[in-house]
């Protein structure tokens, strides 16, 4: 048989093709191996997709690879198959998708060498020698006993759990010639022995119903109110997979308060898990990826891109807060981690568990269509049900730094009863509007269609989209003599006001401006954990995922904006946020309260939030979506273009529209645009969009599969670039 000589490679370029090279050796590497490839005048990293002994191209013009980078493949066959599916479904350039599946650390040419770990083992399991240590050296005895139980040995991490000062003890035992160490490539670690809490009736019933269905692919949605014990269910499911020798991917949204969850997982699973999120360096994330891949840990706990963790025996994927927007990647390769995870589970024929107190309308609709199994948890295992929302009308109230008098009264009552108070305001900075009192000049970003936000502590005006900043002008730059004033309230100003008003109460602000500093964040979280009265102020970051039992009051300021948003998803998101934020209160042994401050108490959505459950509201919103023909009853594919000038962006989309319009069935779908995007100028570029909507997915697919070969030829340049967004989140 002839050896393969030609090979196809994925390269991270925004082009809809793979690249062919000839191999230098007779020895074919496995697919998923990285190579250094000649490319124009330099080199690029490519991932081997396949090899054959013939080529469609002129063999004389095919260049030879420079060198092989990896000994072993960095992507397994399943991952390559998943990336093919993603490229096809999301209509993304295949090379970029393949690189998306790799940890950032390996996207270039850095070498991949599995980190081995030292593992200590008992040399002679002579009971006499060990017994002799019992009285003479109890610390050495303790470690010997542990090693006797774990014949496969213990790593430094595991030894530290037995004794934080393990090192001198182990050295002494080595000196006694009772221990030795060797390099190991991993193996699932040891679970600590813990007493599991007794399950509530609801939790037991749920598990009993789910368990018989866990043998193969199925989507399970746990629709359980806030604090109903969903996390406890996930931890039980993980434990069972462990017992069966399988590994688990556990995805959580990108949030600031994951520390608590990490601690909870650590208590249950010791060091048998790896963590990956955007707060870690590329190297740390790569190490986590590698430990999971080698089977050294059984759980990958992480945010969106942790979905692309590989291992030999994945048994379950869990997606907590499945409705969360952070699962959708909005730049670069556009995909929804929940939807890709479902596909991955289907390919591997394993179960996937989604959980939320406020499931997405997509998932609720999928339950109604009976493609998902739905489970309800309607009670908290703790004493009190989640608080009902109350509206506080501030139309005729005196307002100070965004809070009306009734809100102050409520805060004071809870502080007096030693409760913790959470105040949600989804706007960081000091004030969102800065303008001239005389001529009406406004501080706008030079690069975006956005107002600049005043950040007082940084003495600057900052754009939240592109990071542009400038100093605060003393007088109006337009009319030169007007006074520059600020309007509206951000978290920074709210913090300042509350500190002044409640000088004896700690006021903790958590938003992106403080989350960058780990020390500051840790300090604030410790205060919350202490259970002492305090006021927690924050944005999205404090809205979800945490469980602090001393919080008894949730206050939601400024929910009104969402009532008048142009986004068709605004109502869904508002309902989710309000139920999530209110659900942070009353988790301990005191009942909680939740108030929403509004100027529009009669607005139908406000009234609905007041009187109805999330489930009922979701049903109504689904009815509305159906009657308007919006997702999930329709599918949306968005073409986006951005350019130095708006005209160029619109022209690019005109070209695309022409290519679409000549296809069969184009008439059957709705095509809107090209038109300027809602925020037309962003980071110095003008943006436009062209939207395809259809109730029938097959129509969309048919139009796209006919036109894509031509559309793919339209090159993106630095002047004008374009991208496709399948299942676009917003219109
Ligand atoms: P969710 O994930 O639904 O918000 P959690 O699993 O975080 O809920 O549970 C909320 C609180 O109830 C946590 O403090 C948790 O420790 C506690 N809890 C969960 N299940 C039980 C149980 N079966 N018995 C006692 N407490 C429980
Ligand atoms: Zn002015
Ligand atoms: Zn900007």
127 and 206, same domain (yes or no): no
pLDDT of residue 61: 83
The number of the ligand 1 atom at minimal distance from the alpha carbon of 232 is: 6
224: Cβ below 6 Å to ligand 1?
yes
> What are the pLDDT digits (tens) for 95-114?
999 999 999 999 988 888 76
Q: What is the DSSP letter of 44?
A: E
Average pLDDT over residues 277-301: 89
Dist. CA 226 → ligand 1 center (Å): 9
Residues 344 and 325 in one domain: yes
Provide the pLDDT confidence category of residue 230 given band limits of 50, 70 and 90.
very high
**Residues paired with 335 in a beta bridge:** 329
224 in the same domain as 164: no
Q: Which two tokens stand for residue 306?
A: 């942790």
Domain boundary pick from 487, 505, 521: 487
Please check the confidence at residue 32 and state whether its pLDDT lies above 70.
Answer: yes
Do residues 500 and 587 both lie within one domain?
A: yes
Report the CATH number at residue 245: 3.40.50.300
Is the same domain home to 159 and 93?
no
Q: What is the pLDDT of residue 386?
A: 87
Residue 528 lies in a domain: yes
DSSP 8-class letter at 467: -
Residues 441 and 456 in one domain: yes
Q: Do 471 and 478 form a contact (C-beta atoms < 8 A)? A: no
The share of the chain scoring above pLDDT 90, in percent, equals: 60
pLDDT classification of 189: cutoffs 50, 70, 90: low
Are the CB atoms for 404 and 397 separated by under 8 Å? yes
Helix (H, G, I), strand (E, B) or coil at 451: strand
C-beta of residue 321 within 8 angstroms of C-beta of residue 79: no
Residue 192 placed within a domain = no
Kindly tell me if the per-residue pLDDT of 321 is higher than 70: yes
State the Rg of the chain over Cα.
Answer: 29
Pick the atom of ligand 1 nearest to 225's CA: 3
Cβ neighbours around 434 below 10 Å, total: 22
Pairing of strands 635-643, 685-694: antiparallel
Q: Is the pLDDT of residue 116 over 70?
A: no
pTM of the model: 0.87
Residue 98 lies in domain: 5-106
> pLDDT class for 475, splitting at 50, 70, 90?
confident
User: What is the pLDDT at residue 148?
Assistant: 84
Of 491, 488, 375, which Cα lies nearest the Cα of 426?
491
Comparing C-alpha atoms, which of 14, 29, 22, 10 is closest to residue 79? 10
pLDDT tens column, 598-652: 999 999 999 999 999 999 999 999 999 999 999 999 999 999 999 999 999 999 9
Taking residues 189-195, report their average pLDDT: 74
Residue 257 has pLDDT above 70, yes or no: no
Q: Is the distance from the beta carbon of residue 382 to the nearest atom of ligand 1 less than 6 Å?
A: yes
The ligand whose atoms approach the alpha carbon of 436 most closely is 2
* Cis-peptide into 496, omega within 30 deg: no
By mean pLDDT, which of 3-7, 31-35, 176-180, 199-203 is the weakest?
3-7
Q: Based on the domain organization, do 165 and 212 belong to the same domain?
A: no
Lookup: tokens for 506: 């700690």
Question: What is the Å distance from ligand 1's center to 545 Cα?
Answer: 12
User: Phi and psi of 619, rounded to 5°?
Assistant: -60, -45
CB-side exposure of 383: number of CA atoms within 13 Å?
9
| Ligand 1 pocket member 260 (CB < 6 A) | no
3-state SS assignment for residue 702: helix
162-195 in b/e form (b: 16+ CB < 10 A) is ebeebeebbebbeeeebbebeebebebbbeeeee
Of 164-168, 359-363, 429-433, 450-454, which range is least confident? 164-168
632 cis-preceded (ω within 30 degrees of 0):
yes
Number of folded domains that form the chain: 6
Chain centroid offset of residue 39 CA:
34
* Interatomic CA distance for residues 307 and 78, integer angstroms: 13
Angle at 356 between CA 609 and CA 429, to 5 degrees: 65
Q: By the 8 A CB rule, do 306 and 249 touch?
A: yes
Least confident range from 76-90, 116-130, 232-246, 674-688: namely 116-130
199 lines ligand 1 (CB under 6 A): yes
Ligand 1 site, residue 227, Cβ cutoff 6 A? yes
Q: Read off the pLDDT of each residue in 513-524 and give the average, rounded to a whole number.
A: 76
* pLDDT at residue 1, rounded to an integer: 47
Give the sign of the dihedral formed by CA 660, CA 661, CA 663, CA 665.
positive
616's enclosing H/E stretch is: helix 614-628
Residue 190 lies in a domain: no
Q: How many angstroms does the Cα of residue 194 sit away from the middle of ligand 2? A: 66
Confidence of residue 185 (pLDDT cuts 50, 70, 90): low
Q: In this structure, are 570 and 642 located in the same domain?
A: no
Contact 190, 150 (CB under 8 A): yes
Taking 90 as the threshold, does the pLDDT of residue 556 lie above it?
yes
pLDDT score of 256: 54
Q: Which phi and psi (to 5°) does residue 118 adopt?
A: -75, 140
Same structural domain, 547 and 606: yes
Q: Which of 169-178, 197-206, 412-421, 541-550 has the lowest mean pLDDT?
A: 541-550
> Is the residue at 383 inside a domain?
no
> How remote is the CA of residue 374 from the centroid of ligand 1, in Å?
19
- Is residue 713 domain-resident? yes
Using the 8-state DSSP alphabet, how is residue 511 labeled? S
* Alpha carbon of 485 to ligand 2 centroid (Å): 10
Residue nearest to atom 6 of ligand 1 (CA): 229
Find tokens 């604090």 and name the residue.
Answer: 227
394 within some domain? yes
Task: Name the residue with tokens 């013939």.
Answer: 54
**CATH number for the domain that contains residue 95:** 3.40.1440.60
Is residue 605 one of the residues assigned to a domain? yes
* Average per-residue pLDDT for the chain: 89
Q: Retrieve residue 153's tokens.
A: 């040995």
Closest CA to 22 of 33, 1, 2, 37: 37
Mean pLDDT over 457-469 rounds to 91
- Average pLDDT, integer, range 307-330: 93
Boundary of a domain, candidates 184, 210, 240: 184
Please check whether residue 98 lies inside any domain of the structure: yes
**Both ends of the chain: CA-CA distance in Å?**
55
Verify that 10 and 137 share a domain, yes or no.
no
Whether 179 and 308 map to the same domain: the answer is no
Alpha-carbon distance values, 437 to 431, 462, 472, 485 (Å): 15, 20, 15, 6
Shared domain for 96 and 236, answered yes or no, is no
């Amino acid at each position: 048989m002839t050896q393969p000589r030609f090979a196809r490679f994925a390269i991270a370029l925004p082009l809809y093709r793979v690249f062919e090279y000839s191999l230098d050796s007779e020895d074919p590497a496995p697919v998923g191996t990285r190579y250094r490839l000649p490319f124009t005048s330099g080199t690029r990293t490519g991932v081997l997709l396949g090899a054959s002994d013939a080529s469609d191209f002129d063999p004389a013009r095919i260049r030879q690879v420079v060198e092989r980078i990896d000994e072993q493949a960095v992507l397994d066959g399943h991952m390559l198959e998943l990336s093919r599916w993603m490229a096809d479904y999301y209509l993304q350039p295949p090379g970029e998708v393949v690189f998306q599946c790799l940890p950032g650390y390996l996207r270039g040419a850095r070498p991949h060498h599995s980190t081995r770990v030292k593992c200590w083992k008992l040399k002679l399991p002579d009971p006499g020698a060990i017994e002799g240590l019992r009285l003479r050296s109890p610390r050495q005895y303790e470690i010997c006993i542990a090693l006797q139980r774990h014949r496969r040995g213990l790593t430094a991490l595991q030894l530290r759990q037995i004794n934080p000062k393990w090192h001198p003890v182990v050295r002494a035992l080595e000196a006694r010639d009772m221990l030795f160490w060797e390099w190991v490539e991993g193996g699932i670690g040891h679970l600590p022995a813990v007493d599991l809490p007794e399950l509530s009736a609801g939790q037991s019933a749920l598990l009993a119903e789910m368990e018989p269905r866990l043998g193969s692919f199925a989507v399970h949605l746990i629709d359980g109110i806030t604090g109903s014990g969903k996390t406890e269910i996930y931890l039980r499911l993980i434990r069972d997979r462990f017992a069966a020798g399988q590994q688990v991917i556990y995805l959580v949204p990108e949030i600031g308060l994951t520390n608590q969850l990490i601690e909870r997982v650590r208590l249950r699973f010791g060091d048998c898990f790896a963590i990956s999120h955007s707060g870690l360096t590329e190297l740390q994330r790569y190490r986590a990826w590698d430990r999971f891949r080698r089977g050294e840990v059984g759980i990958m706990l992480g945010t969106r891109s942790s979905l692309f963790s590989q291992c030999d025996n994945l048994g379950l994927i869990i997606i907590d807060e499945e409705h969360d927007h952070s699962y959708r990647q909005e730049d670069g390769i556009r995909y929804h981690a929940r939807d890709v995870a479902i596909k991955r589970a289907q390919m591997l024929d394993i179960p996937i568990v989604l959980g939320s107190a406020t499931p997405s309308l997509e998932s609720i609709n999928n339950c109604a269509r009976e493609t998902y199994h739905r489970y309800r948890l309607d009670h908290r295992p703790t004493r009190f049900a989640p608080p009902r929302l109350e509206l506080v009308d501030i139309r005729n109230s005196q307002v100070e730094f965004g809070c009306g008098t009734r809100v102050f009264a409520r805060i004071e009552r809870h502080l007096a009863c030693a409760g913790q108070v959470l105040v949600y305001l989804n706007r960081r900075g000091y004030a969102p509007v800065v303008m001239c009192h005389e001529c009406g000049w406004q501080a706008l970003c030079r690069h975006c269609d956005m107002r600049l936000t005043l950040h007082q502590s940084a003495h600057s005006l900052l754009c939240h989209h592109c990071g542009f900043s400038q100093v605060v002008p003393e007088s109006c730059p337009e009319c030169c003599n007007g006074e520059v004033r600020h309007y509206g309230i951000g978290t920074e100003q709210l913090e300042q006001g509350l500190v002044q008003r409640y000088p004896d109460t700690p006021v903790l602000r958590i938003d992106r401006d403080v989350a960058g500093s780990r020390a500051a964040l840790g300090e604030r979280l410790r205060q919350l954990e202490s259970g002492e009265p305090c006021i927690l102020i924050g944005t999205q970051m404090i809205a979800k995922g945490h469980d602090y039992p001393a919080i008894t009051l949730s206050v939601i300021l400024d929910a009104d904006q969402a009532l008048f948003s142009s986004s068709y998803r605004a109502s869904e998101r508002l309902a989710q946020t309000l139920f999530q934020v209110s659900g942070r209160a009353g988790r301990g042994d005191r009942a909680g309260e939740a108030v929403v401050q509004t100027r529009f108490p009669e607005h139908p959505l406000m009234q609905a939030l007041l009187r109805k459950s999330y489930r009922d509201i979701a049903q109504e919103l689904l009815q509305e979506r159906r009657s308007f023909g919006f997702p999930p009853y329709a599918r949306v594919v968005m073409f986006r273009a951005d350019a130095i000038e708006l005209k160029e962006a619109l022209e690019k989309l005109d070209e695309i529209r022409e290519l679409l319009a000549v296809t069969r069935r184009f008439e059957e779908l709705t095509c809107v645009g090209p038109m300027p995007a809602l925020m037309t100028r962003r980071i110095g570029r003008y943006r436009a969009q062209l939207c395809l909507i259809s109730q029938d997915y097959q129509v969309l697919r048919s139009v796209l599969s006919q036109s894509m070969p031509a559309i793919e030829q339209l090159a993106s340049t630095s002047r004008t670039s374009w991208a496709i967004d399948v299942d676009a989140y917003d219109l």
